[in-house]
Amino acid sequence: MDALVNRWGNGLQPFLSRPFNDFLETHPLWAWGLDHPLWMVAIATLALLLLAGLWSAIARLTENFWLTLVQLPFRLGRWGLRGLSRLLHRPAQPALAKSSNHSAPERLTEILQRLEALQQEQEALVQEMRSLLTQQSQK
């Protein structure tokens, strides 16, 4: 019986190991890895960590893409409403800019009159503020 097992084992071993040996001859990097198992474990661990980082970066990128895609209609709607509200609530042009078709001396006179009116209004407001402050300090 031992002779039968020995004969089958000797015939089967080269049959099974030949493709593996041929692969190692054509790929010497794998042969080096089998000869240095600690380096191979370290390189495999590093490769797994790098792949995990790449995988998470791709996941974040796709998450940001889908979030942007979902938010796009709302952003476009907000942009459109802002533009529409700006068109509807456009501030009135000041009186100074309306009368630009006058000659220079007339324009200067108009500006001076407006400045005098503003100065008088400012003086009245300052006087009112002083009287309110004195009333408040007396209480």
Residue-range domain boundaries for the chain: 102-139
pLDDT at 95: 55
Sequential pLDDT tens for the chain (139 residues):
677 667 776 777 777 888 888 998 999 998 999 899 999 999 999 999 999 999 999 999 999 999 999 999 999 999 999 988 888 887 765 555 555 566 888 989 999 999 999 999 999 999 999 999 998 888 7
* Number of Cα atoms under 13 Å in the Cβ half of residue 96: 9
Cα 113 from Cα 120, distance rounded (Å):
11
pTM comes to 0.42
Alpha helices (runs of H) in the chain, residue ranges in sequence order: 2-26, 28-35, 37-88, 95-98, 104-138
Give the per-residue pLDDT at 11: 72
Model pLDDT, residue 96: 52
Residue with tokens 């054509």: 26
pLDDT at 55: 97
